[in-house]
Amino acid sequence: MRRTTIASILLVAVFAATSVQGKSPVPPSEVASIELITAELESQLEKLNSLLTDPKMFDDNQEKIVQAGAVIACVSQAAIEHADGKETTYAAPALRYAGIELQEVGDHEEAKALLLTAQAAWKGKSTGEHADEHPWDELAAMYPLMEEMNDRNGGLSRSLRKPRGRISEQLNASTNAILALATLADHNYLEDENQTKQWDGLSKDYLQAMIHLTKAIADKDRDEVAIHYQAGNRACDKCHEVFRDN
């Protein structure tokens, strides 16, 4: 319990820090390791390749392709801004570009071309100029972010029974934490200062829960997994009550 309290204090300090315009509302280095970020990007490229194997399945898979694009865009930006991002060999700005464009694809041919762009970027090759800076509220639309986070919640529920500490388990929490940075930055749907205050508070609660949950899964600490999984769900339920159901 003491460990959790200290971590919470540190997170509050991070949230209170003045954010740099265009940067993540919380430094990605405080959210996930570069190893988890890199593992997620590799996983998404494999997933995207599978989704685009059969051109006839494009319409059926389009929503998942858009979600993959949203994840790639957000996680790539986290890699760009991460303190250890310079250690990576992939071209994160070009990956981010592909991820953003994938969210607007209209056919299989266009999506396949963007996959090739992303695969080249994964090997460190980039065509065109892509700045490091990019607003977090312009990386992905809210709907695919929420759908992806909900999908990953199903994976997290399995960790409740017996956390094994695997990277694939940790990614459900760490990637949801990164996606929460994008939702925290996005005030486009809010109507007034009161809504902004509620949105930011619930987004931070969820983000904090996912950061703690990543560590609990890595530690195979079943009790801590339950605590932070439930905290994340409470933040989600309250957010739906305030913003979606009214």
Residue-wise pLDDT for 115-134, tens only, equals 999 999 999 999 888 999 99
Cβ atoms within 10 Å of 116's Cβ, excluding its own: 12
| CA gap 73, 112 in Å, rounded | 17
Q: What is the mean pLDDT of each run of 10 residues along the chain (246 residues)?
A: 40 41 88 98 98 98 98 98 97 98 97 98 92 96 95 92 95 98 90 88 95 98 97 88 68
From residue 192, give the alpha-carbon distance in Å to each of 197, 198, 226: 9, 10, 34
Hey, which bits of the chain come out as E strands? none
Helix 108-122 to helix 58-81 angle, to the nearest 10 degrees? 30
Q: What is the largest CA-CA distance in the chain?
A: 54
Task: Copy the structure tokens of residue 37.
Answer: 């970020």
What is this structure's pTM? 0.89
pLDDT at 129: 87
Cβ atoms within 10 Å of 188's Cβ, excluding its own: 9
Q: Where are the domains of the chain?
A: 2-21+137-244, 32-136
pLDDT at 192: 87
**Phi then psi dihedrals of residue 194, to 5 deg:** -65, -45
The whole-angstrom distance between residue 75's C-alpha and the CA centroid of its chain comes to 6
Please say whether the beta carbons of 229 and 213 come within 8 A.
yes
Tell me the CATH number for domain 2-21+137-244.
Answer: 1.20.120
SS3 20: coil
pLDDT at 245: 52
pLDDT at 237: 83
DSSP label at residue 82: S
